[in-house]
């Protein structure tokens, strides 16, 4: 996988400018939190609210599999006190950036404390797991707990606020989980099929008992062939 010269130069500049900084520094003002995706940003805001200054690198409709940090993103990451990313190779092209920054500041994969046994193994990429964990609300709760723990570790002064907000947010996720189960159960079992371009809904299908078929694999880096298209057309036609 080739990385552009500009991207490498920006990364080297970032690491060089931060490598001499002390690992412990006095924070001026609110805790600065940077997340990769909007889902993680949502968790941070629900738990921390106005106690932090939070930013998400990727807006709605952005493909995290193909996303590559801009120089502006690298500046945000450099200035952050705490960084959250999904992990499980969701942000594939940013792995080196997180590895380097993790040597000088807290950089946390929200999936890191979840047992591997709860992940879906990838058929195309041995030894890796499906990263789309937010589609199973019960599994996403474990990621939210990880966010909560690390917010408290980085900002103990606001622990009581984070604890209260996290409890409320987790309760709302319980309600969401039940609502999804009720909604899916209203569909006759023989009609519970989800057709999608990108196979990101595996956890959703497992959790809520709906068959999922995608044209692409769990990463949008894979390209479907003509046979894949023909097979999907046949599946749709057969199942009406």
Domain range annotation of the chain: 5-110+119-180, 188-238
Per-residue pLDDT, 209: 93
Per-residue pLDDT, 20: 47
Longest dimension (CA), the chain: 64
Per-residue pLDDT, 3: 46
- The pLDDT tens digits for 48-77 are 999 999 999 999 989 898 898 999 999 999
Alpha-carbon distances, residue 129 vs 1, 4, 37, 121 (angstroms): 20, 27, 18, 4
CATH superfamily name and code, 188-238: Nitrogenase molybdenum iron protein domain (3.40.50.1980)
The answer, yes or no, to whether residue 1 has pLDDT greater than 50, is no
Task: Classify burial at 233, counting beta carbons within 10 Å of its beta carbon; exposed 0-12, middle 13-18, buried 19 or more.
Answer: exposed
Token reading at 158:
């606001």
Alpha-carbon distances, residue 30 vs 48, 49, 109, 128 (angstroms): 11, 11, 22, 36
Q: What are phi and psi of 83, to 5 degrees?
A: -125, 130
The answer, yes or no, to whether residue 81 has pLDDT greater than 80, is yes
Beta strands in the chain (DSSP E): 31-35, 52-56, 82-85, 107-109, 193-198, 211-216
* CATH code 3.40.50.1980 for 5-110+119-180: yes
Per-residue pLDDT, 66: 87
Q: Do domains 5-110+119-180 and 188-238 have the same CATH topology?
A: yes
Per-residue pLDDT, 222: 62
* Banded model confidence at residue 238, pLDDT cuts 50, 70, 90: confident
Task: Quote the CA–CA distance of 166 and 164 in Å, as a whole number.
Answer: 6
The answer, yes or no, to whether residue 13 has pLDDT greater than 90, is no
Of 161, 147, 123, which Cα lies nearest the Cα of 39?
Answer: 147
């Amino acid at each position: 996988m080739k990385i552009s010269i500009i991207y490498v130069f920006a990364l080297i500049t970032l690491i060089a400018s931060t490598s001499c900084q002390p690992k412990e520094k006095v924070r001026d003002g609110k805790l600065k939190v940077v997340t990769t995706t909007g889902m993680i940003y949502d968790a941070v805001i629900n738990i921390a609210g106005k106690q932090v200054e939070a930013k998400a690198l990727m807006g709605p409709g952005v493909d995290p599999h193909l996303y590559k940090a801009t120089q502006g993103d690298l500046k945000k990451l450099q200035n952050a006190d705490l960084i959250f990313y999904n992990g499980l190779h969701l942000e594939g092209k940013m792995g080196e950036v997180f590895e380097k920054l993790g040597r000088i500041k807290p950089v946390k994969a929200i999936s890191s404390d979840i047992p591997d046994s709860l992940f879906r193994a990838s058929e195309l990429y041995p030894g890796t797991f499906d990263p789309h964990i937010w589609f199973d609300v019960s599994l996403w709760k474990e990621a939210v707990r990880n966010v909560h723990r690390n917010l408290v570790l980085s900002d103990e002064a606001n622990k009581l606020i984070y604890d209260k907000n996290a409890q409320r947010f987790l309760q709302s996720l319980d309600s969401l989980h039940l609502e999804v189960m009720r909604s899916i159960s209203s569909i006759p079992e023989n009609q519970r099929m989800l057709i999608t371009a990108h196979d990101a809904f595996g956890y959703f299908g497992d959790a809520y008992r709906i068959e999922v078929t995608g044209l692409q694999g769990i990463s949008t880096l894979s390209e479907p062939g003509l046979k894949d298209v023909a097979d999907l057309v046949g599946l749709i036609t057969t199942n009406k």
